[in-house]
Amino acid sequence: MALRWRILALLFLVRTTLAFQFQAVGALSPAFQDDFGVGLADIGLLIGLYFAPGFFLAVPGGALGRRFGAKHVVVAGLALMTAGGALMALSDAWIGQIAGRLIAGIGGVLLNVLMTKMVTDWFAGKEITFSLAAFVMSWPVGIATALIVLPIIGETAGLRAALTLIAVLTAAGLAAIALFYRAPEGAETNGATATASGEVRGSLLGAVIAAGCIWGIYNGALSTVFSFGPDLFISRGMSPAAAGSTTSIIMWMLAGIGSFAGFLVDWTGRRYLILVGGNLGFAIFVLIGSWTDQILLNVIAMGAFSGVAVGAMMSLPAIVLPPQARALGMGIFFAVFYLFQAGGPMVGGVVAEATGNIGATYVYAAMLLAFSVAILPVYHVLAMKVQRRQAMPRSDEVDE
């Protein structure tokens, strides 16, 4: 029992470097604009590029994890993150930033898909919602840390120093996984042992896709909020460091509330109610944030609601996926997730430039959050079909 919590702590810390690297562009946006002479649409593109490969590589990444083992693929992912981060730190050309971001993003895809499987392997059937919620909190912790640390380094030592730090952190994560992670007994399968029971099709496929849409749309909205938050607050008179620190409040509160909310789901069983209430509450205060001058109060309110539904959303695929289908199923889940995660900031940047109003990005994010709730009934219907099918004896199973 103690081992699985130590493994969770290890995965949490390593995944924090993923969030730290992702948020580099948003946190250092003024420095990127000054050094490379680019606009907000270019910044939105560079932010979104990190997860753009996910739509194409998440499913193959899951299959690679099943074939070669999750640990080996995660180590490879961290190597790519380090290589891409180093390229960005060394390149003086915008095309070098794009190339480095894509290489790092490919590694991040492998890391995200297979680490989620690792947590599910260790906690399936026991504290699954709480463990996944705690694991996902590595994301806001990494984001919030980046929002505080990177602008300070960027202002004092320059953009190259900040990007170098990121590459060093991902290299440290690589060493930690290589040295200390091991899979639970019976968790890893390979091409020789995988069977038809690992297929994801019919109602199961539909449920996983619906879950990916809910999680992806939420994250597309969240990424828009914290990526353009610093620019929004700078436009209202804050310094870059103060704007980054203020935006980070959302992520720190998300980290604190998310784990408790995951425990609340396990304790009460009110998964859907918590999901709907959390995302709609978040949407309301994001919408208010598009125009209010009460920045600090609104940021606190956004943070209070931002993490409420995280555990409930993240546990949706784990509820329906049998053990043999987890690697492939998580790949499909993350392929859908990445489509919206990458598209969120990209569209946000276009919205900001088209309207000439950075606050319009928050209106757009609020609309995304409301849409994530609208998909929940679709997931529920499909999940019920999957659960009925899984309850049948195998001789009676019929693909829905």
Would you kindly state where each structural domain of the chain is located, as residue ranges?
2-181+197-396
How confident is the model at residue 391, as a pLDDT? 66
How confident is the model at residue 393, as a pLDDT? 55
How confident is the model at residue 195, as a pLDDT? 38
Task: Give residues with Cβ within 8 angstroms of 48, minimum separation 6.
Answer: 342, 343, 344, 345, 346
Residue 197 has pLDDT above 80, yes or no: no
CA triple 40-54-193, angle to 5 deg: 170
Mean pLDDT of the chain: 86
Look at domain 2-181+197-396 and name its CATH class. mainly alpha
CB 334 within 8 A of CB 321: no
Rounded Cα gap, residues 238 and 245, in angstroms:
10
- Going from the C-alpha of 293 to that of each of 153, 240, 242, 249, 360, the distances in angstroms are 28, 17, 15, 16, 15
Average pLDDT over residues 100-120: 89
pLDDT confidence bin for 396, thresholds 50/70/90: very low
H or E element: which one contains 345? helix 326-355
- Going from the C-alpha of 131 to that of each of 20, 81, 121, 319, the distances in angstroms are 21, 25, 11, 13
More confident residue, 13 or 349: 13
Say what percent of the chain tops pLDDT 90: 42
Average pLDDT over residues 67-95: 94
CA triple 187-190-192, angle to 5 deg: 130
In eight-state DSSP terms, residue 394 is: G
Q: Among candidates 306, 304, 312, which has minimal Cα distance to 272?
A: 312
Q: 315-354: per-residue pLDDT in tens?
A: 898 888 887 777 778 788 888 888 888 788 889 888 988 9
In eight-state DSSP terms, residue 322 is: -
How confident is the model at residue 198, as a pLDDT? 61
Q: 134-162: per-residue pLDDT in tens?
A: 888 898 889 889 988 998 999 899 999 99
Average pLDDT over residues 382-392: 81
Q: Taking the CA of residue 365 as centre, how many other CA atoms within 13 Å lie in the half-sphere pointing to its CB?
A: 35
CB 278 within 8 A of CB 307: yes
Residue 125 has pLDDT above 80, yes or no: no
How confident is the model at residue 191, as a pLDDT? 42
How confident is the model at residue 101, as a pLDDT? 96
How confident is the model at residue 392, as a pLDDT? 63
pLDDT confidence bin for 1, thresholds 50/70/90: low
Range in 66-75, 100-109, 323-332 with the lowest mean pLDDT: 323-332
Average pLDDT over residues 301-311: 89
How confident is the model at residue 113, as a pLDDT? 81
CB 190 within 8 A of CB 324: no
Residue 194 has pLDDT above 50, yes or no: no
Q: 206-238: per-residue pLDDT in tens?
A: 999 999 999 999 999 998 998 888 889 988 888
More confident residue, 295 or 331: 295
Core vs surface per residue 103-124: b (16+ CB within 10 A) or e? bbbbbbbbbbbbbbbbbbbbbb
Stated pTM of the model: 0.75
Average pLDDT over residues 14-21: 94
Task: Give residues with Cβ within 8 angstroms of 302, minimum separation 6.
Answer: 225, 250, 282, 285, 286, 289
